[in-house]
Amino acid sequence: MTQRAQRRVTKTAAMTAQTVVDGSAARAVRPEPVAASELPELDSRQRVTLSLVPRINETNKRSMLVMVIALVVVAFSVIVTLVLMNTSVAQRQYDIVSLRNQERVLSQENQALLKEAQSLSAPQALAKKAKALGLVAPGAPGLVDLNDNSITKSADKAVEAEGNSANYATLPLPGQSIREKAKADTKKSESKAPVPTVGNASKDDAKPATDSADSKNSTKSVVKDETATRKIADDGRPVFKDSELNGGTIPAPMIKSPTN
Amino acid sequence: MSSTALDTAKKRMRFLLILSLAALLAIAGRLFWVQGINASTVADAAQADRQREEVIAPTRGSIVDRNGTLLAVSVDRYDLVIDQRDQRDQFRRAKRDGTNGSEFIGWDQAVKELAQILDQDPAELATSVQPQDGAKPKGYVVLAKGVTPEVKNEVMEVGIPRLSPLLRSERQYPQGVIAGPLLGFVRNSEDQTSVVGAEGLELSQEKHLKGTEGSRKIEVSADGVRIPVTEVEETPAVNGQDVMLTIDSDVNYVAQREAEKKQKQFNAQWVSVVVQEVKTGKILAIGDSAQLDPNDPGATDPEFRRSVSITRAFEPGSTGKAAIFAAAIDQGAVTPKTELRVPNKYTVTKETINDSLPHDTFDMTAAGVFARSYNTGTVMVGNKLTKKQRYDYMRKFGLGSPIYLGLNGASAGQLAKPENWDRRQQYTTMFGQGYSQTVLHTASIFQTLANGGERIAPSLIEGYKNDDGSVTEPDPSKTSRVVKKETAKEMLKIMEGVVESGTGTKMKIPGYRVGGKTGTGQAASDKGYDGYSYSFAGVAPLDDPQYVVVATMYRPQGSWKNFSVADTFTEVMSHVLNTYNVPPSSTKSEAYDVFVGKEQKKPW
C-alpha cells in the first residue's frame, strides 16, 4: 500500500521532471508498465531514454536519400510517359486525318483513272480507233465440220474500208456532246418539214457526221457563212432560205412525255 | 477602447463571420449541387456543346453491265466558290515552282493562272473573281462547277484567298450513250450535295443505289478545331448496292449503232432493236436510234429520253400473226400442213380482207400462209378459233399489260376485250392490226415460242452487289406456260419457212438456222393510217434457240419498196452469235412446204 502510494508519487514526479517535447516532436510520456517485482530503483539518477523510432545511423540516412531520388525519378518518368503518350495519341490522330485525306486523294485518282479507262474502252471509242487504224468488219466466218474434217462453208472476204457498209464511228464518243448532232438533226428535220419547197436546202445539210471534229468544224463554218453572206433584199429585209423559214409555220411545241 | 466600441467591433466581426460562412455555405451548396446532384446534366451539357455530328454521305452504287463494265458511277467533284468580300490588292502564297518561300502576286496574275487551269476566258473569269465597276462584292460566286480533284488541287495552288472547293458527288456515265435511255439520269438533291435518280434505272433502283447515311460524332474546342484525343463515335455509311444489269454493253452498242444507221437510212421516226436471251428471258440489249447521253440528257429530245422499245406502242402488223398461229396449232384447229385455198381477197361476215400485194389464188399449207404472210390465209386460220380463245392466248403472251423492266413509262399497249371488238377488228387482230404493243412485247412473244412455249418475263436486272461483295438476287422472273412444247416446236419450223422461202429470205445468217416473222403494220395517227412500221422478229439458232432479236422501224419515209430491217437484224444477230460463241447449226432445215404439191416456186 505504502509502496503503491509511493509509486504514484514517484510517477507524478517523473512525469513532471520529464520534458514532454523533444525538439519539434512530441514524446509519448506514458511510461511502460512495469511489473511490481521489477520496480527500478527509485532514486536512480540515470533516466531511460525513450524513443519512438530507432536512432538513424549513417547507412539508413543514405538509403533514405536513394529512396527519395528513386521516387522522384519514378514520379518524373510517369509524368514524362504520360505526356509522351498524350502527344503520341494526338500525333496519331493527326496522322489518321492526313491518311484519310491521302486515301481520299488516292481514291479520287483511282476514280479518274478508272473512268478514263472505261471511256477509252467504250465500244464506240474502240470502233473509232479501229476505223482510224483502217480495220474493217469481218465477213461471215468459215465453218469446219470436225466430224468429217470438211469445210462446210468457206469464209467471206471482208469488205474493203470504202465499200464497207458498217460505219462504225457513228455514235458519239463518251464525253462528246450530242448537242452538235442534235443541232445537225434539227437542221435536217427542218429541211424535211412538209413544205413544197424543200429541195434546195438538203444539199448543204447532207454532210455525213462521220468525224466528230470535222462535223463540228463544218457546222460552225456553215453557220458563220450564213450569217456573213446573208443578202439584204431591196426592201431592206434580210433574205432567208425556205428551209430556214420552215415553210412559214412555227413548229408545234414539244410534248414533254407523249407516252402513258 | 471603451466597452461599447469593443462590442460594436465584436458585433461586426460576428456579422462578417456569419456573412462569410453564409457565402461559404452557398458556394459549398452550389458545389455540391453541381458536382454531386446535378453532375451528369452539366457534363452532358458540356459534352453537347463540344460535340459536332457530321453526316457521312454514302457512295451511290454503280450500274454495271453483265461483264462488269461500268455504265454509271459516282465520282468526287468540286465546285469552286469564291468570296469576293474583304479581298486585298495582293496576296501572299507559297511559290509554285517548288522552291521554298513565298511571294506576293496580284489579281491579274492570279486570274491568268486560274483561267489557264480552268480553261476559261480570262476576261470573263475576271468578272466573277472580282466585283465589277464598284459593284457590291458578293459572298458566294461559283467560278467552276464539277471540276476534277486534280484541277481543284491546281487551283488551290494558285493560292487565292477565300476561294474554297465544295465537295460534291457527281454521277458519270463512262460509256457515254451506251444504254443511255435504260440507265436514265439523275438530278441534284434538294440540298445540292448529292444526286437522286430522275429517270430510268437511276430512278427505279433508287432505293438500292442510294445506300444509308452514316454519322460521325467528334468533339471540337471553342475555336472549332477538333480535339484530337477525344473519343470518336462513328457509324459508318453503308454504300449503295451496285446494280448489275443483264445488258452486254458491246451488244448494246451494236444494237444502237444499227438502229441509228437504219433510222438515218430511211429517215424513220425511230428504230429500236431488242435482244433477249431465250432460255432466261434476260434482256441482252435495247438499242434505240435516238441517243441519250445520260451525262447530258438535255441534249436529247424529251420524247426519246426513255427507250421507245418500252414506251411506244404501235400496231405490230404481221409479227402479230405468230401468236394467232401458235394459238390455232395449240388448240389443234390447224396443223402446219393444213391445206388452204388462199385468194387475194377474202370476204367474211361482209368484211373483205386484202393482201398487201395482189396474187393468184394458191393452194397453200398453213405454214406457207405464215411464210408468205397472207392476211387472207391468216384469217382462215384464225377463224377456226373463237374470239375469246384468241384473246386469251394474246393475253397469255403478255399483250395488253405493261412489261416492267425497272423502267418507268412502260406501255401496256392497247388490247380491247373480245366482246368489244367490232366486226372488222375481230379479223384485223389476227394479223396484227387493231391492237397495239411495244417492241418488247414482240420480243417476249418470240422468246416464249423459242423457249418451248414457256414465257419468262423479260428482266433487266441480274443482281445487286452489296458493299461486301456479296450478291443479292432479284426476285426471280415469273414463268408461265403459254403453249404446249409441241406447238412451240411446230412454230419454230414454220418460222424457219419464213426465212427459207417466205418474206424473210434476206434475214439468213450464214451457218445458222434462223426463224422469224416479218411484219409490216399500218401506223395510225389522228388522221388515220398514214404511215408504216417494219419489223422483224427472229430466233437463232433454230436447233437450240438461244437469242431473240427484234428490229422495228417506225414510220420510215421515202420509197417503201426499199424498206427493210433485214440488215439490222442480221448484223445484230450475227454479232450476238459470234460474241457468245454459239456453235453453228449442224442440222438440216425443217421448214414445211409453202404450197401444196411439188411446185414450190410460185410468183408473189
In the predicted model, what is the mean pLDDT of chain A? Answer: 66
> Do B317 and B226 fall into the same domain?
no
> Where is the domain boundary, A101, A120, A139?
A120
Among candidates B69, B409, B509 on the partner chain, residue whose Cβ is nearest the Cβ of A257: B409
Q: A254 vs B301: CB contact, 8 Å cut-off?
A: yes
Answer yes or no: is pLDDT of A244 > 70.
no
Instruction: Write the CATH number for B408.
Output: 3.40.710.10
> Do A77 and A23 fall into the same domain?
no
Among residues B160, B236, B195, which one has the least CA distance to residue B72? B195
Q: What domain range includes position A41?
A: 1-54
What's chain A's Rg over C-alpha atoms? 56
CA-to-CA dists, residue B163 to B110, B270, B510, B575, angstroms: 12, 48, 64, 52
Tell me the pLDDT tens digit for each residue of B474-498.
888 888 999 989 999 888 998 998 8
> Do A181 and A204 fall into the same domain?
yes
Q: What domain range includes position B204?
A: 55-85+106-242
Among residues B281, B341, B345, B320, which one has the least CA distance to residue B533? B320
**Bridge partners, residue B341, by sequence:** B363
Is A21's Cβ below 8 Å from some Cβ in B?
no
Residue A186 in grid coordinates:
434539227
Average pLDDT over residues A22-44: 64
The answer to whether residues B506 and B566 touch, using CB atoms and an 8 Å cutoff, is yes
State the residue for C-alpha cell 488516292: A106
Q: B295 vs A175: CB contact, 8 Å cut-off?
A: yes
Confidence at residue A80, expressed as pLDDT on a 0 to 100 scale: 95
Confidence at residue B341, expressed as pLDDT on a 0 to 100 scale: 86
Among residues B280, B347, B229, which one has the least CA distance to residue B66? B280
Tell me the pLDDT tens digit for each residue of B531-573.
888 999 999 888 889 999 999 999 888 777 778 888 889 889 9
* Residue A235 pLDDT class (50, 70, 90 cuts): low
In the predicted model, what is the mean pLDDT of chain B? Answer: 86
**Cα–Cα distance, B336 to A106 (Å, whole number):** 66
> Do B228 and B277 fall into the same domain?
no
The three state secondary structure string of A203-260 is HHHCCCCCCHHHHHHHHHHHHHHHHHCCCECCCCCECCCHHHHHHHCCCCCCCCCCCC
The answer to whether residues B321 and B390 touch, using CB atoms and an 8 Å cutoff, is no
- Is residue B25 a part of any domain in this protein? no
The answer to whether residues A210 and A161 touch, using CB atoms and an 8 Å cutoff, is no
Confidence at residue B277, expressed as pLDDT on a 0 to 100 scale: 92
- Is residue A226 a part of any domain in this protein? yes
> Do B294 and B235 fall into the same domain?
no
> Do B400 and B525 fall into the same domain?
yes
Q: B257 vs A192: CB contact, 8 Å cut-off?
A: no
> Do A22 and A76 fall into the same domain?
no
Confidence at residue A181, expressed as pLDDT on a 0 to 100 scale: 57
Residues of B in contact with A156 (CB under 8 A): 510
> Do B200 and B310 fall into the same domain?
no
Q: A177 vs B571: CB contact, 8 Å cut-off?
A: no
Answer yes or no: is pLDDT of A8 > 60.
no
Confidence at residue B549, expressed as pLDDT on a 0 to 100 scale: 93
Confidence at residue B4, expressed as pLDDT on a 0 to 100 scale: 84
Would you tell me the crossing angle of helices B149-158 and B107-118 to the nearest 10 degrees? 170
Cβ-proximal residues to B538 (8 Å cutoff; 6+ apart), any chain? B446, B499, B504, B507, B514, B515, B516, B517, B548, B549, B550, B569, B573
Residue B57 in grid coordinates:
454521305
Cβ-proximal residues to B83 (8 Å cutoff; 6+ apart), any chain? B138, B139, B140, B141, B162, B163, B164
The answer to whether residues B119 and B109 touch, using CB atoms and an 8 Å cutoff, is no
DSSP designation for B478: P
Residues of B in contact with A260 (CB under 8 A): 311, 409-411
State the residue for C-alpha cell 395449240: B330
Confidence at residue B246, expressed as pLDDT on a 0 to 100 scale: 92
Is B150's Cβ below 8 Å from some Cβ in A?
yes
> Where is the domain boundary, A75, A98, A120?
A120
DSSP B166-206: EEEEEEE-TTTTTTHHHH--EEE-TTSSSEEE-SHHHHHTH
> Do B217 and B253 fall into the same domain?
no
- Is residue B596 a part of any domain in this protein? no
State the residue for C-alpha cell 494526338: A90
A82 phi/psi in degrees, rounded to 5: -60, -45
Q: B178 vs A124: CB contact, 8 Å cut-off?
A: yes
The ipTM (two decimal places) reads: 0.71
Among residues B541, B496, B515, which one has the least CA distance to residue A143? B541
> Where is the domain boundary, A12, A35, A54?
A54
Is B288's Cβ below 8 Å from some Cβ in A?
no
The answer to whether residues B492 and B263 touch, using CB atoms and an 8 Å cutoff, is no
Answer yes or no: is pLDDT of A165 > 70.
no
Total domain count for chain A?
3
DSSP B297-341: GGGS-GGGSS-HHHH--B--GGGGHHHHHHHHHHTTS--TT-EEE
CA-to-CA dists, residue B162 to A101, B85, B87, angstroms: 21, 9, 8
Interface size, chain A vs chain B, as Cβ–Cβ contacts under 8 Å: 141
The answer to whether residues B603 and B359 touch, using CB atoms and an 8 Å cutoff, is yes
B355 phi/psi in degrees, rounded to 5: -95, 155
CA-to-CA dists, residue A122 to A125, A174, B72, B307, B479, angstroms: 5, 7, 12, 20, 34
Shortest Cα distance from A111 to chain B (angstroms)? Answer: 6
Name residues 82-111 of chain A within 8 A of B (Cβ): 86, 89-90, 93-94, 104-105, 107-109, 111
Q: Which residues of chain B have pLDDT under 70?
A: 1, 224, 228-229
**Cα–Cα distance, B218 to B235 (Å, whole number):** 12
Among candidates B178, B306, B510 on the partner chain, residue whose Cβ is nearest the Cβ of A140: B510
The answer to whether residues B447 and B281 touch, using CB atoms and an 8 Å cutoff, is yes
> Do B479 and B498 fall into the same domain?
yes
**Bridge partners, residue A145, by sequence:** A150
Shortest Cα distance from B312 to chain A (angstroms)? Answer: 7
Residue B500 in grid coordinates:
427459207
Total domain count for chain B?
2
> Do B228 and B267 fall into the same domain?
no
Is B249's Cβ below 8 Å from some Cβ in A?
yes
Helices (H) and strands (E) in chain B, counts: 18, 25
Among candidates A107, A152, A178 on the partner chain, residue whose Cβ is nearest the Cβ of B299: A178
What's chain B's Rg over C-alpha atoms? 37
Is B54's Cβ below 8 Å from some Cβ in A?
no
**Contacts of the segment A2-8: beta carbons below 8 A, 24+ positions apart:** A3/A36, A3/A39, A6/A42, A7/A39
B516-535 CB burial, b ≥16 within 10 A, e <16: bbbbbbbbeeeeeeebbbbb
Confidence at residue A247, expressed as pLDDT on a 0 to 100 scale: 60
> Do A181 and A239 fall into the same domain?
yes
Q: A171 vs B295: CB contact, 8 Å cut-off?
A: no
Which of B76, B177, B216, B309 to mutate to test binding with chain A, by most A CBs within 10 Å of its CB?
B177
Q: What is the dihedral of CA B434, B438, B441, B447, to 10 degrees?
A: 120
> Do B126 and B259 fall into the same domain?
no
Among candidates A107, A118, A178 on the partner chain, residue whose Cβ is nearest the Cβ of B300: A178
Is A175's Cβ below 8 Å from some Cβ in B?
yes
* Residue A233 pLDDT class (50, 70, 90 cuts): low
**Cα–Cα distance, B243 to B558 (Å, whole number):** 42
- Is residue A169 a part of any domain in this protein? no
> Where is the domain boundary, B242, B263, B298?
B242
> Do B219 and B268 fall into the same domain?
no
* Residue A27 pLDDT class (50, 70, 90 cuts): low
Q: B149 vs A257: CB contact, 8 Å cut-off?
A: no
The answer to whether residues A205 and A186 touch, using CB atoms and an 8 Å cutoff, is no
Q: A258 vs B303: CB contact, 8 Å cut-off?
A: yes
* Residue A77 pLDDT class (50, 70, 90 cuts): very high
Name residues 26-55 of chain A within 8 A of B (Cβ): none
Confidence at residue B424, expressed as pLDDT on a 0 to 100 scale: 85
Residue B75: closest CA among chain A residues belongs to which residue? Answer: A111
Peptide bond into B137 cis (omega under 30): no
State how beta strands B63-64 and B242-245 pair. parallel
The answer to whether residues A248 and A197 touch, using CB atoms and an 8 Å cutoff, is no
Confidence at residue A234, expressed as pLDDT on a 0 to 100 scale: 66
- Is residue B352 a part of any domain in this protein? yes
**Cα–Cα distance, A186 to A180 (Å, whole number):** 10
**Cα–Cα distance, A184 to B299 (Å, whole number):** 12
Residues of A in contact with B557 (CB under 8 A): 192
Among candidates A90, A170, A256 on the partner chain, residue whose Cβ is nearest the Cβ of B229: A90
**Cα–Cα distance, B451 to B439 (Å, whole number):** 18
* Residue A232 pLDDT class (50, 70, 90 cuts): low
Confidence at residue A214, expressed as pLDDT on a 0 to 100 scale: 40
> Do B232 and B280 fall into the same domain?
no
Q: What angle do CA B270, B197, A110 make, to 5 degrees?
A: 100
Confidence at residue B248, expressed as pLDDT on a 0 to 100 scale: 92
Tell me the pLDDT tens digit for each residue of B276-311.
999 999 999 999 988 888 888 888 888 888 888 888
- Is residue A129 a part of any domain in this protein? no
State the residue for C-alpha cell 471509242: A125
DSSP A18-43: S-SEETTEEP--PPPP--GGGPPPTT
Confidence at residue B448, expressed as pLDDT on a 0 to 100 scale: 92
Half-sphere exposure (Cβ direction) of A60: Cα atoms closer than 13 Å: 5
> Do B204 and B279 fall into the same domain?
no
Q: How many CB atoms lie within 10 A of CB B52?
A: 11
- Is residue B77 a part of any domain in this protein? yes
Residues of B in contact with A165 (CB under 8 A): 567
Q: Is the dihedral of CA B354, B355, B359, B365 positive or negative?
A: negative
> Do A71 and A98 fall into the same domain?
yes
